[in-house]
Amino acid sequence: MSSQITAPQVRSMKGDSRIVCLTAYDYTSGRIADRAGVDVILVGDSVGNVVLGYESTIPVTLEEMEHHVRATSRAVERALLVADLPLGSYGSSVSQAVDSAVRLVKAGANAAKLEGDYCDEVRAIQKTGIPVMGHVGFTPQSVHNFGGYKVQGRKNKSEVIRMAKSLDDAGVFAMVLELIPAELSTEITKSVSAPTIGIGAGIDCDGEIQVFHDIMGLAEKTYKHTRVFAHSGKAMIRGARQYAQAVRERSFPTEENSF
Ligand code: KIV
């Protein structure tokens, strides 16, 4: 078994090698991402829209996150496993944030991620020994505040920069920059000590994160910020059709599959 990547190692990759991050939500996707050699696997609260069929990440509960972290952690041997704190699990108080992060780590995560300007919470979680990843720009849990899925930092550039710098000062080991202009993420990447991990944030971030189902061709929609690297959804539908046909025409199971 190769040794597992740590949060300090991810931090030290800034300026050295690009950090490859991918979401995963269960044993199978975790195993695929880990065997492919990605550096960081995120059990994202995007599990809500991607796997559970919710409209957004907003309904996702801490219990649901724990369930998916447990499943994913059983497969992950090499990558750093980060888990998202869902909406309602860290916004009320510092102690709520610490308790929620502890639950995700007890479920198998190596680090926690939270969205937005929660620097006291970041410091307190880190004080308990749990590394924290930040997330600025478009933060999906605030979709109602943003008025939809919109690129951030065009009109409020200084606000996004200020937030990234505060999280950096609070000691995050990395931060996601989501849906912001490429020029802005270049500026942030140069002005913070933590590595930046982009999604819809241009090429100059220290690393990239994508949603498993988007790059594997399993999503219903396609987005400008992503690319399909494997057309798995089409292959699966084809496979299921061939299976159905074989069952109906009695060409499966054969003697080979029988006991
Ligand atoms: O939940 C998620 O998948 C995320 C990534 C898009 C960064 O937060």
Residue 2 is predicted with a pLDDT of 58
**What are the tens digits of pLDDT across the range 103-121?**
999 999 999 999 999 999 9
Residue 257 is predicted with a pLDDT of 97
> Strand pairing of 40-43 and 80-84?
parallel
Residue 90 is predicted with a pLDDT of 98
- Is the pLDDT at 156 greater than 60, yes or no? yes
Residue 220 is predicted with a pLDDT of 87
Q: Looking at ligand 1, which atom is closest to the CA of residue 23?
A: 3
Q: Rounded to whole angstroms, how far apart are CA atoms 58 and 44?
A: 12
**What are the tens digits of pLDDT across the range 159-204?**
999 999 999 999 999 999 999 999 999 999 999 999 999 999 999 9
* Catalytic-residue membership of 187: no
What residues form DSSP beta bridges with 144?
Answer: none
Q: Rounded to whole angstroms, how far apart are CA atoms 164 and 158?
A: 10
- Is the pLDDT at 52 greater than 90, yes or no? yes
Residues in contact with ligand 1 (CB, 6 Å cut-off):
23, 42, 44-46, 84, 176, 178, 199, 209, 211
Residue 107 neighbours by CB distance under 10 Å? 21
Q: Rounded to whole angstroms, how far apart are CA atoms 127 and 241?
A: 53
Residue 102 neighbours by CB distance under 10 Å? 15
Ligand 1, atom 4, residue with closest C-alpha: 44
pTM: 0.97
| pLDDT band for position 57 (cuts 50, 70, 90) | very high
Q: Which residues contact 18 (CB under 8 A, 6 or more apart)?
A: 206, 207, 208
**What are the tens digits of pLDDT across the range 65-89?**
999 999 999 999 999 999 999 999 9
Q: Rounded to whole angstroms, how far apart are CA atoms 51 and 54?
A: 8
DSSP string, 191-227: H-SSPEEEESS-S-SSEEEE-HHHHTT-SSS--TT--
- Is the pLDDT at 1 greater than 80, yes or no? no
Residue 110 is predicted with a pLDDT of 98
Residue 198 is predicted with a pLDDT of 98
Write the DSSP symbol of residue 30. H
Give me the catalytic one of 66, 121, 178, 208. 178
Ligand 1 pocket: which of 19, 40, 45 to mutate (most atoms <8 Å of CB)?
45
Ligand 1, atom 8, residue with closest C-alpha: 44
